[in-house]
Amino acid sequence: EWQAIETGIGNTQYSGQVTLGTAPSYTLTDTTRGNHKTYNLNGGTSGTGTLFTNTTDTWGNGLPSNKETAGADAHYGAALTWDYYKNVHGRSGIRGDGVGAYSRVHYGNAYVNAFWSDSCFCMTYGDGTGNSKPLTSIDVAAHEMTHGVTSNTAGLVYSGESGGLNEATSDIMAAAVEFYANNANDKGDYLVGEKIDINGNGTPLRYMDKPSKDGSSKDSWYSGIGSIDVHYSSGPANHFFYLLSEGSGAKTINGVSYNSPTSDGLPVTGIGIDKARLIWFKALTTKFTSNTNYAGARTGTVAAATELYGAGSAEVTAVENAWAAISVGS
Ligand code: ASN
Ligand code: ZN
């Protein structure tokens, strides 16, 4: 059956003016991306609320007081993440079957979190502190959607070291999506949640070049890291990915300054995020299993890099050096 492809205009809070999939006239339904839909919970905490519907094809006004604005941000983040997985990794949707998930915005009252749920095959966003900072930025959307990808591939158990690797996978792919999007209002970075002001002082939620900058995350692996919260045991793997992409030491990218340390004091030369993201994705989808730990992640990524770039390649050496730099040896 033939279906019109409508592209509306979204005035988002975090990403400026963007195009949105809005068919049929006019709802937030993305027919070119598995019919991904975006719903307004309007403060509710269950069900789907109502599908965003409009008489014109312009959505939101860039401000959180307009209920469509968060819908536009979430719809855009889902579209970017879909495009990233399709165009960079050849994966069509979260399950790889071309079927879209859906997004729900305006969950609860001043709810400061966002989450993926396997049971609804959907992602949900609160409106943040004072209902003025919805958690609908590109990186948060990509982070939550990637929980769906992880769940349908490696299936990394959400506790212990595998839980940290699950969380890191979401942060890693969030950074990759942000760089892929190259949005003028939200350029790529190795920060997580820099737009949503979750700390109330303008600082990001997490830092991949030096995870301990958040006060809780770990920079390197240690025996016992599996006992801490998965959003902190993700630190070493986030740090690994930064080092593999950009290398150790000081560097400024898109106006953000980084300074990544190594636990062994040896320098790491980065191979660029375009290669690093392929290595991580290949390991996630063909090497990691539900109980993969840090040692297994090292083995899996070395194997993935070897298949992609060859034994003895500079890429394999960089993977080995980046793991050594966060205290995961051979
Ligand atoms: N936003 C959090 C996350 O995606 C929610 C959670 O802790 N499950 O990790
Ligand atoms: Zn997460």
> Is residue 70 helix, strand or coil?
helix
Per-residue confidence (pLDDT) for residue 2, from 0 to 100: 59
pLDDT tens digits, 253-294: 999 999 999 999 999 999 999 999 999 999 999 999 999 999
Rounded distance from Cα 257 to ligand 1 centre (Å): 26
Q: In the chain, where are the structural domains located?
A: 7-151, 160-324
- DSSP-derived secondary structure for 232-285: HHTHHHHHHHHHHHH-SEEEEETTEEEEE--TTS-------HHHHHHHHHHHHH
pLDDT by residue for the chain (330 residues), tens only, comes to 456 778 999 999 999 999 999 999 999 999 999 999 999 999 999 999 999 999 999 999 999 999 999 999 999 999 999 999 999 999 999 999 999 999 999 999 999 999 999 999 999 999 999 999 999 999 999 999 999 999 999 999 999 999 999 999 999 999 999 999 999 999 999 999 999 999 999 999 999 999 999 999 999 999 999 999 999 999 999 999 999 999 999 999 999 999 999 999 999 999 999 999 999 999 999 999 999 999 999 999 999 999 999 999 999 999 999 999 999 997
Q: Which residues contact 263 (CB under 8 A, 6 or more apart)?
A: 219, 220, 325, 326, 327
> Position 184: which residue type?
A
What are the tokens at 245? 């992409």
Q: CATH number of 7-151: 3.40.640.10, 3.30.160.270, 3.10.170.10, 3.50.50.60?
A: 3.10.170.10
Per-residue confidence (pLDDT) for residue 259, from 0 to 100: 98
Residues carrying an active site annotation? 144, 231
Rounded CA gap, 258 and 155, in Å? 31
pLDDT tens digits, 185-213: 999 999 999 999 999 999 999 999 999 99
Q: CB 182: neighbour CB atoms within 10 A?
A: 11
**Is the Cβ atom of 194 under 6 angstroms away from ligand 1?**
no
ipTM associated with this complex: 0.94
Ligand 1 pocket: which of 103, 124, 125, 231 to mutate (most atoms within 8 A of CB)? 231
Buried b / exposed e along 247-271 (16+ C-beta atoms within 10 A): bbbebebeebebebbbbeeeebebb
Nearest-atom number in ligand 1 for the CA of 231 is: 9
Cβ–Cβ under 8 Å, residues 112 and 135: yes
In this structure, the residue with its CA closest to atom 8 of ligand 1 is 115
The domain defined by 160-324 carries CATH number 3.40.190.10: no
Please confirm whether the linkage preceding 24 is cis (ω < 30° from 0): yes
Cβ–Cβ under 8 Å, residues 280 and 300: no
What is the distance between the terminal CA atoms of the chain, rounded to a whole angstrom? Answer: 55
Ligand 1 pocket: which of 112, 115, 233, 234 to mutate (most atoms within 8 A of CB)? 115
Q: Which residues contact 15 (CB under 8 A, 6 or more apart)?
A: 73, 76, 137, 138, 181, 183, 185, 186
Ligand 1 pocket: which of 140, 144, 158 to mutate (most atoms within 8 A of CB)? 144
Q: In percent, how much of the chain has pLDDT > 90?
A: 98
Distance of CA 181 to the CA centre of its chain: 12
**Is the Cβ atom of 115 under 6 angstroms away from ligand 1?**
yes
Rounded distance from Cα 313 to ligand 2 centre (Å): 32
**Is the Cβ atom of 144 under 6 angstroms away from ligand 1?**
yes
What's the pTM? 0.98
Per-residue confidence (pLDDT) for residue 330, from 0 to 100: 72
Nearest-atom number in ligand 1 for the CA of 158 is: 8
Per-residue confidence (pLDDT) for residue 5, from 0 to 100: 78
Per-residue confidence (pLDDT) for residue 3, from 0 to 100: 62
Phi-psi region of 63 (alpha: psi -120 to 50; beta: other; left: phi over 0): beta
